[in-house]
Amino acid sequence: MVFKKSMRDRKGLGSPTEKTEVLSEDLLQIERRLDTVRSMCHHSHKRLIACFQGQHGTDVERRHKKLPLTALAQNMQEASTQLEESLLGKMLETCGDAENQLALELSQHEAFVEKEIVDPLYGIAEVEIPNIQKQRKQLARLVLDWDSVRARWNQAHKSSGTNFQGLPSKIDTLKEEMDEAGNKVEQCKDQLAADMYNFMAREGEYGKFFVMKLFCHLWVVLHLSLCVREGIGSPEQKSQSPDFQVPL
């Protein structure tokens, strides 16, 4: 194993208070980058949820029922029945249907964004990166154990000149403990490095979440605009209301 050691380590004077750095510079840079990515995903997830008009975590039908647009549509439709066959009643019915369609489209859009964008961002910020960071902490604990037993092994070697009974056996035991601790460090480091590199290799996939969000936003704005035109009437079909004389 090739690790970065302090000057005392290179002189054979290791101390349990001096930690050996086992990660390469590339991995240390990735570690710092993970903190930034996690913070970005966490805040993006939080802000996206704040943009929802429907209830987070519900299906399309339940979300649709709770939308303010749905309540407005119902109010218009109820008012239209009270006005019976009057022109205002017909206008309220048409507008109520259009508002209800808008609410349905919005609820479908929010459910899609939640599934395809919000939930994956949560997974990155609260599951994937924390799991890697837990491995990093585990590696740090193993390194401390390894440094500790290595320091005791060095100290035993320094004391071997006294030739007191049982010291060779103690040195052999410490050597076995040191080798075992070193192997644990190596295994944990290799797994951590693999997970770090794998995560960064998928960085482009994470960027697609934000591109998808922008595309979805543009799509829903256009689609809702078309819904309004189809529900109330296009300018070519109904450029002026015969009674109110205002553009629809």
Taking only the tens place, the pLDDT of each residue in 6-64 is: 434 433 434 444 567 888 999 999 999 999 999 998 998 898 888 888 888 788 888 88
Within a domain: residue 68? yes
In a domain, 2, yes or no: no
Q: SS3 of 21, please?
A: strand
**Is 4 strand, coil or helix?**
strand
Distance CA 127, CA 197 (A): 17
Contacts of 25 (CB under 8 A, 6+ apart): none
CB atoms within 10 A of CB 97: 16
Number of folded domains that form the chain:
1
Q: Would residue 5 count as lying in a domain?
A: no
Mean pLDDT of 131-139: 95
Give alpha helix (H) positions in 159-244: 167-201, 203-232
The average confidence (pLDDT) of the chain is 79
In a domain, 6, yes or no: no
C-alpha to C-alpha distances, 39 to 77, 122, 125, 133, 213, nearest whole angstrom: 45, 11, 7, 13, 18
- Does any domain span residue 116? yes
Whole-number Å distance between alpha carbons of 231 and 248: 11
- The amino acid sitting at 164 is F
- Top pLDDT among 156 and 230 is at 156
Q: How confident is the model at residue 230 (pLDDT cuts 50, 70, 90)?
A: low
Closest by CA to 3, choosing from 172, 176, 157, 146, is 146
Which domain does 36 fall in, by range?
22-232
Write down the pTM of the prediction. 0.70
Q: Mind listing the pLDDT tens digit for each residue in 165-180?
A: 556 677 888 888 999 9
Residue 184 resides in a domain = yes
Structural domain contains residue 239: no
What is the CATH number for 88? Answer: 1.20.1270.60
Is residue 138 included in any domain, yes or no? yes
Give me 238's structure tokens: 């109904």
